[in-house]
Amino acid sequence: MVSLTGYTGSQNPILSLGKLDFAEIKDSLRDYLKASDTFKDYDFEGSALTTIMDLLSYNATLYSFYANMVANESFLDTAAKRESILSLIKPLSYIPTSRRSSRAEVILTGTGQTINFGDLFSGGGYQWTPDKEYYVNGSTQVTLLQGNRTDRVANKLFDRGIQHQKFKIEDTAIDTSTLKVFVDEGDGFKEWTHAEDVVGNISGFTSGTSLYYLTGSNDGGYEIFFGDGVLGKLPSHQSQIRFEYLVTAGGEANNVGGFVSQVADVGVLSTATASVGGSNRESLQSIKQNAPLFFQTQGRAVTSGDYVVLLQQKMGSGVLTNVWGGEENDPPNYGRIFISSVASNRQPLVDSQKQEVISTCKDKSLVSIIPEYKDPVLIDIRLSGQLTFDANLSYKTVDEINNLVTRYTAFYPLRAFNDTFRVSDYTSGILDIDAGIIGENIQFHISKTYEASETDKVISVTIPFMNSIRNPEGQIGSVVESLAPFRIDRGSGVKLVSLYDDGLGNIEMWDMSNDNNLGVVGSVDYTAGRVQINDLGAIEDFTIQADPASNSIIAKHNIVFTIKQPDIEVNRIN
């Protein structure tokens, strides 16, 4: 403990430093005064002197707390107030991600009508609008964005006498990816370009480039400002500024599947893809984590981590992304990077979102690198087995334990990409649910489900489990199989069949009506974890299940794990 020698009286008493608690500070002051002959024989508990010491202790505590908070708010790692964090990230050129509009794909019908951004559709209690201009003639697929189109004129004119003049966007629920800025320099409003969208970025800026910069404001909103006549054009004095953007509900508008057109002579035939990808504004924890990573990228993508950070800022938290180099593929594909994305609810993206992902990667990647999008492959984790439940050690019933297991599984933490599922971690959590659960015997399998119908047959599939499959060493049907019989039609009539591996790397088809072997229809690479099935002709949904070689599996590349409802039986004893 650091101490300070005082000069009160002739004794030179010692004052201890480093104590921050109110009582400790008061005790230190009392000891200091008692050690001084100036206040000899004073009653420090009952006299008015104790009130003075209370005031001094309170003042010291107040200033120590204030100094501590000031120090905390001065660093990004420890800052807690939003305005402090937003101020600290400005030198990093990081703009917190705003809300992002949910997107849906619908099939419209019309007879030569043109619809535009701003035209009204409704669905799920929200307003929707086309993302661009479409010509609707017959059946036409259209992407809808959730949001209310807002057209607002700034409440002040551009003043060349004000350096770095900023214009605040009043709506905090804005989707900044839909923002358009128009400037009227006396000859009508003309659209100016966001600096991020200028080809070549700063190398493409000139004194005559009509561009604007977007930045975050300390109150959590957004502001724009213009060039200075060197890096971007300086608007004319007294120019008028106009904004156009969507005000959106963000993630609340996801999973909407029914839409109604409010445009004359345009109807909605069907929904091709329910709404996905909407998200709320970026959280403070996310800002603190991503701002330094974004600064490292310097606006360019070199490593796979750079792509992930740049895409997260572009797409928002409603879209989850994984990026890997072609050299990691089997066989390797050099000179390419591969991107896979899903919505936060594990649903695939709509086509316009996929195109936006690729466009962003092309703009940010090195010249010689070619980005390629890969659709995510959803792999289900299926858990089954038994739990031993001692009712004498618990107040819960078997049904309550079943409900707790179901809830535990539904909320089991599992990231979309690059996550590892370990049976040991899962079962450890199961045992912690209740003291009455004294034992477990749980197995797991991985599976992939395909949709098929008489009008949309599945002829062949390639299942990249990307985790080694247990080698059965010649034992038939023990490792890879169809989860249940399903119907096929390969031109010789409808049959009910099942698929099994023969233990030697072949997939055989069996007719369930007469138990006949219809031959080899595919193969299994046990080491690579890849299943190939050909000449299938499936006309109803089917699931292929495999037994992993390890109790730990990893979601590599474009693999996304989901956990199915567990089939776990609770066996009660006592």
In the chain, what is the straight-line distance between the N-terminal and C-terminal CA atoms, in Å? 59
328: its two tokens: 């990691």
Q: Is 447 helix (H, G, I), strand (E, B) or coil?
A: strand
The torsion angle over the Cα atoms of residues 55, 61, 62 and 64, rounded to 10 degrees, is 140
Report whether pLDDT(365) > 70.
yes
DSSP string, 303-350: SHHHHHHHHHHHH-TTEEEEEEEGGGSSS--TTEEEEEEEETTSPPPP
What would the mean pLDDT of 352-361 be, rounded to a whole number?
90
Count of other CB atoms within 10 angstroms of residue 308: 21
pLDDT in tens, 383-430: 999 999 998 898 899 999 999 999 999 999 888 898 999 999 999 999
Cβ-based neighbours of 481, under 8 Å, separated by 6 or more: 498, 499, 500, 501, 544, 545
Q: Considering only CA atoms, which of 571, 559, 527, 546 is closest in space to residue 444?
A: 546
Out of 20-29, 30-39, 350-359, 558-567, which region has the weakest mean confidence (pLDDT)? 30-39
Cα separation, 82 vs 73, in Å, equals 10
Whether the model pTM is above 0.85? no
Cα separation, 554 vs 548, in Å, equals 11
Q: Considering only CA atoms, which of 379, 286, 301 is closest in space to residue 339?
A: 301
Start-end of H helices in 422-463: 423-431
Pairing relation of β-strands 103-115 and 267-276?
antiparallel
Task: Tell me what pLDDT residue 346 has.
Answer: 85
Report whether pLDDT(7) > 60.
no
